[in-house]
């Protein structure tokens, strides 16, 4: 291993603040995932080809019948408070946290019925049925973050104070969170992977204004940011700065999909023709070219083309066609009133990236055919509460990770059993289709790749016929880094643990 310069504070532009804690075991908020990945190591990490790599687990065994996964844990790992990391932490996290409170975990670990701990360094996940995707789901930044049993046992993990001041196993330790301003982390001197990390501190600054983030990158106040913090119109300008390196490439393991979702408990959306009308009101060519400035791929399926093993093109399609949209609304009985308005409804965009601009795109298109869309913006915490707890919305825009497997990233939005108030990025539409449930549950356990592909092809056909939500595009991974940041490049994204990063001295 080549030694890198030690020391320094890396400053990251984290975009708008998300008041949902910093522990991704109980939240799938993007900023929480980014910060959390530095505080907690995963059982496994993954290479650019989705291949599992050792982290807190040094090796693993899958039973021949597919009904157990044995994890052999790393010796000598301690929590940031000095307590040893053991198999009991894995068992507690899997059974009491991931399966109950995480929108992805509720589906990913649905077949995990128990976790045996024959010794402190062995955890055996027992399954009711095979789960061929499970080995791809054990990263800390998503639904399989191991949290300390000795801190959380006997409490409500969703509201525990440690969610805002985490105690992890990762290369950096929590120092403080100044709401509205920043989160500060410091080097973990007892990290198992010594001499890493090379940096002394990580400072995550919350900057809601994309123009301010761009300026801070240019003048050296920030070292790193992504498109959560930097608006797409600024990317081209920043790419011409010799002091900055801009990368933009289609996502792989973490492929996010921007989508529009209906509240199917609202009477107006029970008529399929209304949902179809909305689907015809999105111009994906304009969205990709003018809103995402080319840093995205259009998709008309919930499983995007980035996952060729499961993506299917054999789905109903809804080309941009306002005349068709208007005819569908007319047929559904929504006539124009004296002011030319057929119906009025609300749209709540998640306050990240370009989703607010996407909401304006829909509003302006629908206005032409007599639909009044009232856009309401809020901070991230209010967006999550309104959408997933109060369910006080007509429609929402959001972006969520669809990978690395449909059972992990996609099922949560369509599985009727994943309609649960208070669980963010779950089945907010309250979509229910018995055949879809059957297919999703079959896809979770099927081990034959050809059969599994056919299952998900039929799933995509049905849900794109029913239209509880409308997938729109898969954004690229876009990052901006100052040249003095070492070891940041290629497929490295902000979800890494940053133990390998350094600053040129």
DSSP conformation letters of 382-437: HHHIIIIII---SEEEEEEE--S-HHHHTGGGT-GGG--TT-TTS-TT----HHHH
Other CB atoms within a 10 A radius of the CB of residue 431 amount to 22
Residue ranges of the chain with per-residue pLDDT less than 50:
none
pLDDT of residue 132: 85
Retrieve residue 466's tokens. 């029913």
pLDDT in tens, 66-78: 999 999 999 999 9
Provide the b/e sequence for 138-172 (b: ≥16 CB within 10 Å). Answer: bbbbbbbbbbbbebbeeeebbebebbbebbbbbbb
Distance separating alpha carbons of residues 476 and 468, to the nearest angstrom: 25
CATH of domain 39-152: 3.90.76.10
In 145-255, beta strands by DSSP E: 172-178, 182-187, 201-205, 224-226, 244-249
pLDDT of residue 210: 84
Distance separating alpha carbons of residues 301 and 314, to the nearest angstrom: 9
Helical ranges in 168-228 per DSSP H: 210-218
CATH of domain 9-17+179-250+477-503: 3.40.190.10
pLDDT of residue 49: 67
Fold agreement (39-152, 256-475): no
pLDDT of residue 19: 64
Distance separating alpha carbons of residues 231 and 479, to the nearest angstrom: 11
pLDDT of residue 42: 94
Distance separating alpha carbons of residues 209 and 212, to the nearest angstrom: 5
Nearest CA to 35 among 204, 187, 160, 189?
204
Nearest CA to 72 among 125, 113, 148, 151?
125
The listed CATH number (3.40.920.10, 3.40.50.2000, 3.40.50.300, 3.10.105.10) that belongs to domain 256-475: 3.10.105.10
Distance separating alpha carbons of residues 274 and 193, to the nearest angstrom: 55
pLDDT of residue 276: 98
Where are the chain's structural domains?
Answer: 9-17+179-250+477-503, 39-152, 256-475
- The H or E element that residue 272 is part of is helix 272-279
End-to-end Cα separation, the chain, in angstroms = 19
pLDDT of residue 243: 96
SS3 assignment, position 35: helix
Distance separating alpha carbons of residues 123 and 85, to the nearest angstrom: 12
pLDDT of residue 363: 97
**Look-up: residue for tokens 């062995």?**
122
pLDDT of residue 234: 86
pLDDT of residue 30: 63
46, 52 contact by CB (below 8 A): yes
Q: DSSP letters of 82-133?
A: SPBP-HHHHHHHIIIIIHHH-TTHHHHTTTEEEEEEEETTEEEEEESS--TT
pLDDT of residue 254: 64
Retrieve residue 19's tokens. 């008041």
Taking the C-alpha atoms of 303, 307, 310 and 315 in order, what is their torsion angle to the nearest 10 degrees? 40
Provide the b/e sequence for 231-268 (b: ≥16 CB within 10 Å). Answer: bbebbeebeeeeebbbbbeebbbbbbbbbbbbbbebee
């Amino acid at each position: 291993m080549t030694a890198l310069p030690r020391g320094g504070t890396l400053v990251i532009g984290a975009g708008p603040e998300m008041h949902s804690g910093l522990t991704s075991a109980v939240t799938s908020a993007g900023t929480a995932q980014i910060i959390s990945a530095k505080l907690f190591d995963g059982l496994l990490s993954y290479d650019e080809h989705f291949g599992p790599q050792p982290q807190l687990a040094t090796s693993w065994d899958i039973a021949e019948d597919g009904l157990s996964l044995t994890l052999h844990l790393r010796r000598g790992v301690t929590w940031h408070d000095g307590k040893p990391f053991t198999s009991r932490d894995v068992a507690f996290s899997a059974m009491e946290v991931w399966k109950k409170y995480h929108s992805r975990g509720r589906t990913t670990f649905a077949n995990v019925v128990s976790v045996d701990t024959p010794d402190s360094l062995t955890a055996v996940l027992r399954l009711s049925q095979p789960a061929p995707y499970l080995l791809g789901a054990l990263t800390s930044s998503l639904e399989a973050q191991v949290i300390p049993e000795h801190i959380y046992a006997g409490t409500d993990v969703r509201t525990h104070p440690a969610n805002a001041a985490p105690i992890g196993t990762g290369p950096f330790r929590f120092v403080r969170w100044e709401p509205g301003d920043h989160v500060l982390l410091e080097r973990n001197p007892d990290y198992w992977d010594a001499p890493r990390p090379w940096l002394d501190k990580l400072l995550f600054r919350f900057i809601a204004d994309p123009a301010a983030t761009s300026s801070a990158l240019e003048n050296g106040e920030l070292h790193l940011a992504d498109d959560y913090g930097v608006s797409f119109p600024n990317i081209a300008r920043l790419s011409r700065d010799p002091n900055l390196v801009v990368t933009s490439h289609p996502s792989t393991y973490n492929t996010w999909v921007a989508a529009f979702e209906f509240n199917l408990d609202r009477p107006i959306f029970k008529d399929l023709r209304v949902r179809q009308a909305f689907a015809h009101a999105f111009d994906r060519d304009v969205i990709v070219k003018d809103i995402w400035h080319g840093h995205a791929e259009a998709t008309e399926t919930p499983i995007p083309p980035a996952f060729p093993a499961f993506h299917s093109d054999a789905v109903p399609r809804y080309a941009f066609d306002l005349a068709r949209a208007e005819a569908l609304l007319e047929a559904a009985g929504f006539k124009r009133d004296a002011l030319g308005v057929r119906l009025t409804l609300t749209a709540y965009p998640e306050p990240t990236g370009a989703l607010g601009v996407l909401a304006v795109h829909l509003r302006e298109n629908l206005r032409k055919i007599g639909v009044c869309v009232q856009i309401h913006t809020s901070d991230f915490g209010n967006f999550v509460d309104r959408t997933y707890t109060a369910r006080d919305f007509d429609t929402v825009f959001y972006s969520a990770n669809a990978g690395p497997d449909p059972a992990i990233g996609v099922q949560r939005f369509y599985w009727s059993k994943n309609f649960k108030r208070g669980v963010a990025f779950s089945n907010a539409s309250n979509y229910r289709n018995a055949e879809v449930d059957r297919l999703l549950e079959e896809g979770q356990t099927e081990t034959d790749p050809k059969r599994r592909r056919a299952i998900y092809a039929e799933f995509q056909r049905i849900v794109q016929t029913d239209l509880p939500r409308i997938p729109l595009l898969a954004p690229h991974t876009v990052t901006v880094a100052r040249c003095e940041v070492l070891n940041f490049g290629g497929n490295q994204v902000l979800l890494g643990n940053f133990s390998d990063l350094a600053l040129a001295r």
